[in-house]
Structure 1
Amino acid sequence: MKKVRDALVEVAIIVLVGGLIGAVLAVVSNLFVIGVQWFGQQREASDILSLPIGGDTVSFSSLVFLWAAAAVVVFLKTSLGISRWAGPADSMYAAHQVNEPLDIKTGMASTLAAFASASGGGSVGQYGPIVHFGATMGIWVKRFISSRLSHEIYLGCGVAAAISAGFNAPIAGVVFAHEAVLRHFSVRAIAPITVASISASALGNQWFPHTTTFDISATLPPLAEVVPVLVMLAPAFALVAICFMAALRYSAQTAAKMNTSPLLLPFIAATICGLVGVWIPQILGLGISSINEMIAGEFALSLLLTVLVAKLLMTALCIGFGLFGGVFSPSLFIGVAAGAVAGELLILFGFGDIASIISVAGMAAVSSAVIGAPVSAVLIILELTQSYEYAVAAMIAVMVCNLLTNRLFGNSFFDRQLLDRGIDLLKGREAIALNQQVVGPFVSQGYVRAEPSVTGSELREEMRKRGHTEAYIIKSDGQFLGKVSIYEVIEAADSNINDFVDTRPLTLYSHNSLAEAMVTVSQFVGESLPVVNAETGQLHGSLAEGELFQAVIDVQNRARGLERA
């Protein structure tokens, strides 16, 4: 009966956690889009700052709205003390370790900043910030609910709910949380994540029945005609994805090198993006309507090429210069534009009208390469179109594109962001845990210590009593001088040991990670290593190889335990 009761309690907690997180994300995701669209309508209808140019009256309202957005972003950053905006990369990192949890304030502020940027017309997206908001919300909910579920499961619930609500794709939400963020499957994780994903989609449809994002309804030609074309176009989609991700990194690096106040950079991005948006308004905001128009084939080839290049450059500028937002939505836009360009060119060369499927495949291929979730991208297409043929066609382009981008750029843009911070998720939880855990807590005080004035005979007797073959020499002020082995002690005999000390022994420092210690120990032969405080130069303790190996095993087992949960 106890097992039955415990099982029922766990099911109740899973439903409560998943349902609560799903409901919150259903509201936030839909209100985010509705709010951005409302501000976009105000911007398009506004005639603020209208000037006569060449006989026509041109409205520079996009410039004014973007200046206002930049002001809000700067205000949020300064007033809340945010050092760096947070996004999906931070969610991924938080799911792989427990020493650096998500900061609730930064997560909420980042979502507000992304909303301000997109509402003002910035060339940024919604899904990345909402995914991170979902992860933050999951961690926040964990504070109030006591359960056996680990922090990463709560985090995964929020991520799945965000994707599910954003695309109305609950299956893709579940897979995305596991594929891109958690990067492992477990029975205990799948249940609450599934509840959260389905809740977000169902409640979003119930409460916001008229907020469908994409409109994909074209008829697909036979797969035999489409697949060879998509295989040939996949390298072009990979090139577009790589150019987009490289531009994002280059923009951020350029901004970091500029001798300009960080508070001024968002206004520079707002000004340039606003001026470009005056003449190419399609690149402003989320671009959902433009995506649907490109899929429907309503853009001419010249306009497609223009918006493709402009969207890529303006997104890189906005995000790199601090007008914060997501990269997922822009990658969808850029992918559709690249696919539509290819489709129009194929028509010119005598191919049938397959521009719609090429556009959808391009959207899936480029976005999947950027976020590092090829299976999720295919499932999103399947759930959006309700077409098996569309999903299979998109899968061809997605897989070939991801194979190339993985080899030439990396697993995803978010993985590359973490790599730039010295974090390699591909090494797994164990490597991250070993890099986070310092050696200080594992040192032993069971070593032999002596002052430089002691004689070899005296130290030899002490070492004999303690059963040690090495001793550490400490100055009178507590500074670590060096190390002696039994051989130097015997040689010293009745002489002062000071002249026989190895003053440059292989040494660990208290702040060294276990991973660094393992590299050091690979070159070591002896009884133990001294562990020294790098700031004070005092001996913190000793660490034998066996003690180090046991510490590593314990940390690895804890990291593996997360995946088995």
Structure 2
Amino acid sequence: MNGLKAGIVGFLSERTLPSVRTLLATRQPLVWLLALIIGGVGAYAILAFRWLIGAVQWLWLGNSSENVLSTVASFREPWLIMLALVGGGLVVGFILRFTTHSFRTHGIADVIEARAIHGSHIPIRRGLMSAVASAISLGAGASAGREGPAVHLGAAIASFLESRFSLPGAARRVLLASGAAAAVSASFNAPIAGVLFAHEVILGHYALTAFVPTVIAAVGATLITRVHLGDFPAFIIPDYHITSYWEFPAFALLGVVCGLVAVGFLLSIMASDWLSRQVDLPIWVRPAIGGVIVGAIAIMVPEVLGVGYEATNQALREKYSLEFLFLLLFAKTAATAITLASRFGGGVFSPSLYLGAMSGGAFGIIAASVFPEFASSYGVYAILGMGAVAGAVLGAPISTTMIVFELTGGYEMTIALLLSVSIASVITQALIGQSFFGWQLSTRGLYLGDGPHRRIMRTWKVADFMTGLSPEDSENPVKLGPDDLRLTPEDTLEVTLRAFDTTGLDRIAVFDPSNMDTQIGWAEYTKALSTFNAALIEANIEEHR
């Protein structure tokens, strides 16, 4: 008996008590409570965001729901479509010109950037103004998705709430991801996908300590939105089934096709953005000009308006012909690329689902004409195409697969969807080398896909580890010639270590960037290495704890 008691006491002292101390030291109970609050506040923020989109849409359409096609079809004056887009573009342009410093709306790439290099800080004003501009854009009919602005808004709320507490860096990053998880869950009624998205796209890892807060935020947000909006999938589809296992080669080929569609979509966005940057126009007029072009497309093909859920649903329910599916595929690609290039607010997830449904549906019709005895209904291929294109564009095959499941309720096509999504993602990576978010970050000089060591090398600065001048150094400052090597506090760790390697010195003088003749400190080789190693260890622990 005494031996058993001693064993229990030994176990508690060796295992349980240290675990409890670590839990309290990292302030996990507070993180869980904040995650719950973030989920609740984020859910109501997303509900308000969706309401604002509907309110703006009601001003010109008389209809605040996402089903706009029947109302637009009854228009006797189709020029109202262009008037709405141009008017909305002018308002968005005014917001960008006079209320933002970056002259653009913000989205998921900005959340990833904040997690990586900005200490998980997103100004709440930036999140709110970006959400307003995006809501006006989408309500006016701009061809984009609502998920990007929603995730940014959720993350900005999380950043605002956690900034009231002195939390460790890892906890701040987890709460930022919790805000993203809450936003995805509230936007799409998809809590599992929200959690996976936060880990796969925002954090880049699946650590258990991060899993609990993201789940709490996602579940809390989902419960609130279901109370107000009900519990039903975004797309109501018939009870589809896969006809034969002989179709799996066709599903693999569909993955190839969807990968090429994703590549075409990404290249269209890149090309449109490049062209828009070559035109010297005031920022306030750019969305209005984009509204003219998108409006001209929408007058002919109104299915490109807004997030496009109604047209996507029609494709899933097999309401379109082969020719019309191809028309929508090209029209939506052009409309979305122009929308984003002209600085309207919005994301790419909903357009990616749209393009996937159209390309998958067209593939299914062709497959049925070639092998009528084996092919399933083209609605099956449309569902698979949704996941394949969206997963490839976002660079998030796992969470996208789950989002499609939760949006459609089509859980019976699990294996086929995983096959198509994985192949499409591989094709896109092989031809483009990065996701939509990766491309956005690369245009800002950020390459976060190379691993934590690269991120640390490029984000830590000399100011983080430099030492000041001693009294003796102040009396006898270093005298350098015009060609001698100098460092400044803003030089990165990568630049510093390369300088040490090139010169072989143990320390290098740091100068005031405003006056390169004034020395303000020293960068020491041992401290630079210690800083790098400590940051690398911290990142490794965070990703695996």
1:442 counterpart letter in structure 2: M
Q: How many pairs are equivalent? A: 511
1:377 matches 2:396:
no
Taking the TM superposition and a 5 Å limit, the aligned residue runs for 1:6-405 are 13-33=30-50, 35-37=52-54, 39-40=56-57, 43-44=60-61, 57-83=76-102, 84-99=104-119, 101-144=121-164, 150-209=171-230, 212-222=233-243, 224-351=245-372, 352-405=375-428
1:520 counterpart letter in structure 2: A
Q: Percent identity?
A: 26
| Whole-Å separation in 1 of the counterparts to 2:492 and 2:307 | 43
Find the residue that maps to 2:234 and give its secondary structure.
coil
1:457 aligned residue: none
2:7 aligned residue: none
2:218 counterpart letter in structure 1: S
CA distance change for structure 1 residues 230 and 43 in 2, over 3 Å: closer, same or farther? farther
Deviations 1:294-327 (A, max 9, x none): 0111011221111110110110101111112111
Find the residue that maps to 1:522 and give its secondary structure.
helix
**2:315 touches 2:382 (CA, 8 Å); kept in 1?**
yes
| Whole-Å separation in 1 of the counterparts to 2:473 and 2:340 | 56
Per mean C-alpha deviation after superposition, the further-off stretch among 315-324 and 423-432 is 423-432
Taking the TM superposition and a 5 Å limit, the aligned residue runs for 1:341-490 are 341-351=362-372, 352-440=375-463, 441-443=465-467, 445=469, 474=479, 480-481=480-481
CA positional deviation for 1:241: 0.6
2:159 counterpart letter in structure 1: I
Find the residue that maps to 1:523 and give its secondary structure.
helix
Q: Give the helix-richer structure, 1 or 2.
A: 2
| Whole-Å separation in 2 of the counterparts to 1:450 and 1:178 | 49
CA positional deviation for 1:198: 1.2
Bigger relative contact order, structure 1 or 2 (CA pairs below 8 A, ≥6 apart): 2
Deviations 1:172-211 (A, max 9, x none): 1111100111011222211111011112222211221177
CA distance change for structure 1 residues 262 and 35 in 2, over 3 Å: closer, same or farther? closer
Larger Rg: 1
CA distance change for structure 1 residues 225 and 527 in 2, over 3 Å: closer, same or farther? closer
Deviations 1:511-535 (A, max 9, x none): 3211111122222234543334454
| Whole-Å separation in 2 of the counterparts to 1:505 and 1:354 | 71
Deviations 1:412-469 (A, max 9, x none): 1001110111111112344323323322451464698799xxxxxxxxxxxxxxxxxx
Deviations 1:142-179 (A, max 9, x none): 13456667111111111111121222221111111001
| Whole-Å separation in 1 of the counterparts to 2:471 and 2:508 | 10
| Whole-Å separation in 1 of the counterparts to 2:319 and 2:304 | 16
List runs of 5+ in structure 1 lacking aligned partners. 47-55, 452-470, 475-479, 482-502
TM-score, with length taken from structure 2: 0.85
Deviations 1:484-518 (A, max 9, x none): xxxxxxxxxxxxxxxxxxx7444434432111111
**1:14 touches 1:191 (CA, 8 Å); kept in 2?**
no
Find the residue that maps to 1:195 and give its secondary structure.
helix
2:35 counterpart letter in structure 1: G
2:387 counterpart letter in structure 1: A
State the Cα RMSD in Å.
3.0
| Whole-Å separation in 2 of the counterparts to 1:527 and 1:203 | 58
2:200 counterpart letter in structure 1: E
| Whole-Å separation in 2 of the counterparts to 1:79 and 1:156 | 29
| Whole-Å separation in 2 of the counterparts to 1:21 and 1:531 | 42
Find the residue that maps to 2:441 and give its secondary structure.
helix
1:383 counterpart letter in structure 2: E
CA positional deviation for 1:266: 0.5
| Whole-Å separation in 2 of the counterparts to 1:472 and 1:12 | 51
**1:218 touches 1:356 (CA, 8 Å); kept in 2?**
no
| Whole-Å separation in 2 of the counterparts to 1:549 and 1:205 | 51
CA distance change for structure 1 residues 527 and 96 in 2, over 3 Å: closer, same or farther? closer
CA distance change for structure 1 residues 246 and 226 in 2, over 3 Å: closer, same or farther? same
CA distance change for structure 1 residues 323 and 450 in 2, over 3 Å: closer, same or farther? closer
| Whole-Å separation in 2 of the counterparts to 1:264 and 1:38 | 23
1:77 counterpart letter in structure 2: L
Deviations 1:208-258 (A, max 9, x none): 117742123332124513321110121111111111111112212211110
Deviations 1:83-120 (A, max 9, x none): 23211001011122344722221111111111111100
| Whole-Å separation in 2 of the counterparts to 1:270 and 1:562 | 45
CA positional deviation for 1:543: 3.6
CA distance change for structure 1 residues 400 and 221 in 2, over 3 Å: closer, same or farther? same
2:5 aligned residue: none
CA distance change for structure 1 residues 144 and 217 in 2, over 3 Å: closer, same or farther? farther
CA distance change for structure 1 residues 34 and 117 in 2, over 3 Å: closer, same or farther? same
2:70 aligned residue: none
